[in-house]
A and B are shown apart, each in its own frame.
Chain A
């Protein structure tokens, strides 16, 4: 009887301790994530305009923001641009980052120096990256156009030409973010047991077979995590677009976030902007659901 009582006391103590330990995290999560998310959801059903609300208050308008948003051809184009951008950058970044990781992993000397050098673009602030690329591709003093002119190649107004602007944004994002993929995959490659490589080589496997039957299966969780993180990040692309193209020319580079900035934030129409943010969250959740389901299992 006494033993049982002691055990119950110990269990209750452990439970209390667990709750005590977990409660700060829950509190932070509730304040920093749940509260803004719920507020955004509530605002998305209202006509909340920052300035007009000071005079007229906020009225509920049901689903109007959502119907306006989903029937707007410019929003549809922004969604399509965002999906296209996300797919292209994630695929390219995964390939380039993986290639970099494999290359550095095979180096016998200078791994640390190479690792640091390859990481540099990812360490730069996005504003700096945007300015560097704008200067390099400037139609006036840009080194790229000057080099192309010297080689008698056609020159472009890279960020204002409807045929090149989108590609430029993809290129810059891949340049900046492939090192992130490299970093994660390089760390994963370090943990692949060398014995598996040796066994594969003894069995006569070539480099391609080793890659597909030893390396990739061993780092597939890291590959999936990388793809998920890059998908979420690419989907939220804003700063590069805003700084370099503003969504133009002719909406060819307008992403969901840029659209929301132009039509929601700039005009202080936060109700409409909130509806856009909710739609965007839902799309990201759908895109990442595959990974989340696997993670929960």
Chain B
């Protein structure tokens, strides 16, 4: 009897303890904290590197003003993509603000991952370069804000280019680029470097060249167009370039071009800060295949945007943080630390240009840039295309065979 009584008592104690440990719902908890003047907390998830660094340095002022502590998670591109998606499956999200690559927009908005920023009172202003906002809207409502103006540029070693009889200003077309790389190879250096370590990098590094030839990976109905004349010409040009160099990972690519071991490669402004004395520089691609051909928009965006997850527990405060981070003065302040705002007020600021003349190139590239296709299947799309391109580059398939196979596989993906 005593034993039974003890067991009931213990069970009762356990139930009471568990009930006491149960937490209030997020909204209630938040409001009670606000009422009592306690410090609240937020969690934001960002792409690691300079993209997160420039945001982190802006946070203390916001934290102090709003009596909030902000926990920052920095992730690699793949991990960020997965984390934001996994977070969306919970009813109560762990993140209040997230960085989103422009190419994820379609799949995230299709599935309701992102909150409607217009409903939260946020609108994009006219100072933001218009072309960079093209994917930020769904039915006139804002879902993303373009924060870090990453756009593909041609990174080059100045001495190697001069040795080939050119300067950064006289590179007019893809023909010139091929010519410089061939001359560099003949003189015992590496010509063109590309990133062959993932399908995404393979595709992204090739897209500016494809655009220079007037091609694109999909048509206006998002149907694949990889087995076209333009694509084949661009691929043949790419094969010529690849033949003058080799595949290297990002850090090696930057080091090779900077040291002069290699001559050029497609890069991003966040990778390297050129100065007057630096050995390397970058330019925006002209978008011309040859000297007498038409100029196309050939700069591909890799803009890191800011969004608020639909299941954020602090949407209003997150919207305030977003507004603060997108403020033109706050963004101008990040330039010193490597920030690349998508704003005229930053990129055309005289003081900024006097110190960082490369922002003129970045501004031009951002004005005429192209986003990767906005479609929910983009991940499968680039995986398949990158795999076939890898086969072509490494000689496992001919250009014609590889592109025909890619077209067939991509059509199947888009038909599903």
Q: Which residues of A contact B (CB under 8 A)?
A: 50-52, 54-55, 74, 134, 138-141, 157, 159-160, 162, 245-246, 248-252, 262-263, 265-269
Q: A267 to B379: give the CA distance in the assembly, Å.
A: 6
Distance in Å from the Cβ of A58 to the closest Cβ of chain B? 12
Contact status A140-B252, CB under 8 Å: yes
Contact status A245-B197, CB under 8 Å: yes
Known: A139-B246, A262-B387. 17 other contacts (CB 8 A): A50-B89, A51-B85, A51-B111, A51-B113, A52-B110, A52-B376, A54-B89, A55-B110, A140-B248, A157-B248, A160-B247, A246-B197, A246-B198, A249-B394, A250-B391, A250-B394, A268-B85
B86 CB contact (under 8 Å) in A50, A157, A250: A50
Q: A265 to B83: give the CA distance in the assembly, Å.
A: 12
Interface hub of A157, A252, A265, A267 (most chain B Cβ within 10 A): A267
Contact status B88-A54, CB under 8 Å: yes
Show 8 residue pairs from A and B whose CB-CB distance is below 8 angstroms, ordered by the A residue. A50-B89, A52-B376, A138-B252, A141-B255, A248-B197, A250-B395, A250-B396, A262-B387
Is B404 positioned at the interface, with any CB of A under 8 Å from its CB?
no
Is B259 positioned at the interface, with any CB of A under 8 Å from its CB?
yes
Chain A neighbourhood of B380, CB < 8 A: 263, 267, 269
Q: A153 to B370: give the CA distance in the assembly, Å.
A: 45
Is B393 positioned at the interface, with any CB of A under 8 Å from its CB?
yes
Contact status B112-A54, CB under 8 Å: yes
Distance in Å from the Cβ of A131 to the closest Cβ of chain B? 11
Residue of B nearest to A248 (CB): B390
A139 CB contact (under 8 Å) in B88, B89, B252: B252
Distance in Å from the Cβ of B268 to the closest Cβ of chain A? 19
Chain A neighbourhood of B196, CB < 8 A: 160, 248-249
Chain A neighbourhood of B364, CB < 8 A: none
Chain B neighbourhood of A52, CB < 8 A: 110-111, 376
Chain B neighbourhood of A159, CB < 8 A: 197
Given contacts A140-B255, A141-B255, A157-B247, whether A50 and B391 have CB atoms under 8 Å apart is no
B391 CB contact (under 8 Å) in A51, A55, A251, A269: A251
B390 CB contact (under 8 Å) in A51, A157, A250, A269: A250
Tally of contacts, chain A with chain B, CB under 8 A:
92
Contact status A249-B393, CB under 8 Å: yes
B112 CB contact (under 8 Å) in A55, A245, A248, A252: A55
Is B199 positioned at the interface, with any CB of A under 8 Å from its CB?
yes
Chain B neighbourhood of A141, CB < 8 A: 255
Q: A140 to B262: give the CA distance in the assembly, Å.
A: 10
Chain A neighbourhood of B387, CB < 8 A: 74, 251, 262
Q: A215 to B161: give the CA distance in the assembly, Å.
A: 65
Distance in Å from the Cβ of B411 to the closest Cβ of chain A? 15
Contact status B110-A263, CB under 8 Å: no
Is B78 positioned at the interface, with any CB of A under 8 Å from its CB?
yes
Q: Which residues of B contact A (CB under 8 A)?
A: 78, 81-82, 85-86, 88-89, 107-108, 110-113, 196-199, 246-249, 252, 255-256, 259, 261, 376-377, 379-380, 383, 387, 390-391, 393-396
Contact status A266-B197, CB under 8 Å: no
Contact status B199-A262, CB under 8 Å: yes
Given contacts A51-B85, A250-B391, whether A140 and B110 have CB atoms under 8 Å apart is no
Given contacts A140-B252, A140-B256, A249-B394, whether A50 and B383 have CB atoms under 8 Å apart is no
Chain A neighbourhood of B110, CB < 8 A: 51-52, 55
Given contacts A157-B248, A160-B248, whether A140 and B113 have CB atoms under 8 Å apart is no
Q: A27 to B82: give the CA distance in the assembly, Å.
A: 30
Given contacts A141-B255, A157-B246, A162-B394, whether A51 and B88 have CB atoms under 8 Å apart is yes
Chain B neighbourhood of A251, CB < 8 A: 387, 390-391, 396
Contact status A249-B390, CB under 8 Å: yes
Contact status B383-A54, CB under 8 Å: no
Chain A neighbourhood of B261, CB < 8 A: 140
Residue of B nearest to A142 (CB): B252
Q: A251 to B196: give the CA distance in the assembly, Å.
A: 11
Distance in Å from the Cβ of A39 to the closest Cβ of chain B? 15
Chain A neighbourhood of B78, CB < 8 A: 266
Chain A neighbourhood of B394, CB < 8 A: 162, 248-250, 252
Interface hub of B89, B113, B387, B391 (most chain A Cβ within 10 A): B387
Residue of A nearest to B412 (CB): A68
Contact status B391-A139, CB under 8 Å: no
Chain B neighbourhood of A51, CB < 8 A: 85, 88, 107-108, 110-111, 113, 376
Chain B neighbourhood of A162, CB < 8 A: 394-396
Top 3 nearest A-B pairs by Cβ distance? A250-B394, A160-B247, A51-B111
Distance in Å from the Cβ of B261 to the closest Cβ of chain A? 6
Contact status A266-B383, CB under 8 Å: yes
Chain B neighbourhood of A246, CB < 8 A: 197-199
Interface hub of B110, B197, B391 (most chain A Cβ within 10 A): B197
Chain A neighbourhood of B395, CB < 8 A: 162, 250
Q: A50 to B111: give the CA distance in the assembly, Å.
A: 9
Residue of B nearest to A55 (CB): B111
Q: A141 to B256: give the CA distance in the assembly, Å.
A: 9
Q: A252 to B393: give the CA distance in the assembly, Å.
A: 13
Distance in Å from the Cβ of A270 to the closest Cβ of chain B? 11
Q: A152 to B107: give the CA distance in the assembly, Å.
A: 52
Chain B neighbourhood of A267, CB < 8 A: 377, 379-380, 383
Residue of B nearest to A245 (CB): B197
Q: A265 to B86: give the CA distance in the assembly, Å.
A: 11
Distance in Å from the Cβ of B83 to the closest Cβ of chain A? 12
Chain B neighbourhood of A263, CB < 8 A: 380, 383
Q: A252 to B396: give the CA distance in the assembly, Å.
A: 10
Chain A neighbourhood of B390, CB < 8 A: 248-251
Interface hub of A52, A74, A139 (most chain B Cβ within 10 A): A139
Distance in Å from the Cβ of B372 to the closest Cβ of chain A? 15
Q: A52 to B107: give the CA distance in the assembly, Å.
A: 8
Q: A159 to B394: give the CA distance in the assembly, Å.
A: 13
Residue of A nearest to B258 (CB): A140
Residue of B nearest to A157 (CB): B246
Residue of A nearest to B198 (CB): A246
